[in-house]
Amino acid sequence: MVEGLVSQTSKGTPQGGPLSPLLSNILLTDLDQELERRGHNFCRYADDCNVYVATRRSGERVMQSLTRFLEYRLKLKVNAEKSAVARPWERKFLGFTFHVDRACRIKVAPKTIQRFREHLKELFRMGRGRNLGRFVEDTLNPVLRGWINYFRLAEVKIYAEELDGWLRRRLRLILWRQWKRVWTRMQNLRKRGLAEERAAASACNGRGPWWNAGASHMNEAYPKKYFDQLGLVSLLDEIKRQPIMAT
């Protein structure tokens, strides 16, 4: 894509295609063997590689020597902007990073979660005028299942609980906007079990849609149980239901 238009390419391989990792493995086998020969702990996927050493001084020395190896031996160009010597929890690899408290644990990188939220926001814009159940089943759930099946390797789970709460609030936002009129909002809140006085006060509060989507009246009227019955995938429940198998 060049400025939003599809254009024919004359060199290189398509981004995300299966050929790129295959070619990188063929080309970078020499790098793998060199790292093994030196006794380094490392992890590489395609052209993305992390090497783990004990100290910053060792990291700087390894960075310099590997840069020379890649550029002079393999005739490759190292991207200096994306390369760095840093603590493992200051870097991300394939969307993951580390959390360090009493023990070092794998977690989803904050930037990865932020990008996922931005992608979901685009989906929610598509769901504004649609039936909520069909939107959840046809559009939202396939994305959620695919994402959590990849990131369920993370040992820090709080991100899943936070995303679940955010997702339910976004769905309540769709409902609130669909109702539009004060009378419709009051009637729907009453149907969901709120007292007439509270439903009327909530429908007339003058607050914005996002505030109302997270307010107590919408949380009480549309709790997690409602969305479970609707079929919404819970990221936290998916993690608990699919434990990581030992290898």
Provide mean pLDDT across the span 187-200: 94
Task: Report whether pLDDT(245) > 50.
Answer: no
Task: Return the higher-pLDDT residue of 194 and 1.
Answer: 194
Provide mean pLDDT across the span 200-224: 94
Kindly provide the residue ranges of all beta strands, DSSP E only, lying in 46-173, ordered along the sequence: 48-52, 96-100, 104-108
Write down the pLDDT at residue 99.
84
Beta bridge pairs of residue 105: 99
Confidence of residue 242 (pLDDT cuts 50, 70, 90): low
Provide mean pLDDT across the span 157-186: 93
Task: Report whether pLDDT(246) > 60.
Answer: no
Provide mean pLDDT across the span 61-79: 91
Write down the pLDDT at residue 147.
93
User: Among 186, 222, 181, 221, which Cα is nearest to 203's?
Assistant: 186
Distance, CA of 43 to CA of 36 (rounded, Å): 11
- Range name among 48-57, 65-74, 154-163, 235-244 with the lowest pLDDT average: 235-244
CA torsion, points 64, 69, 75, 80, in degrees to nearest 10? Answer: -20
- How far is CA 154 from its chain centroid? 12
Write down the pLDDT at residue 183.
94
Write down the pLDDT at residue 88.
85
Task: Report whether pLDDT(122) > 70.
Answer: yes
Mean pLDDT of the chain: 88
Provide mean pLDDT across the span 46-58: 90
pLDDT tens-digit readout, 33-42? 999 999 999 9
Write down the pLDDT at residue 20.
81
Write down the pLDDT at residue 247.
38
Write down the pLDDT at residue 82.
87
pTM score above 0.95: no
Q: Residue 237 is encoded by which pair of tokens?
A: 């429940």
- 131 close to 81: Cβ distance less than 8 angstroms: no
Q: Residue 103 is encoded by which pair of tokens?
A: 């023990």
User: Among 103, 67, 111, 99, which Cα is nearest to 85's?
Assistant: 67
Q: Classify each residue of 234-245 as buried b or exposed e, where b means 16 or more C-beta atoms within 10 Å of its C-beta.
A: bbbebbeeeeee
Task: Report whether pLDDT(144) > 80.
Answer: yes
Write down the pLDDT at residue 226.
95
Provide mean pLDDT across the span 103-113: 88
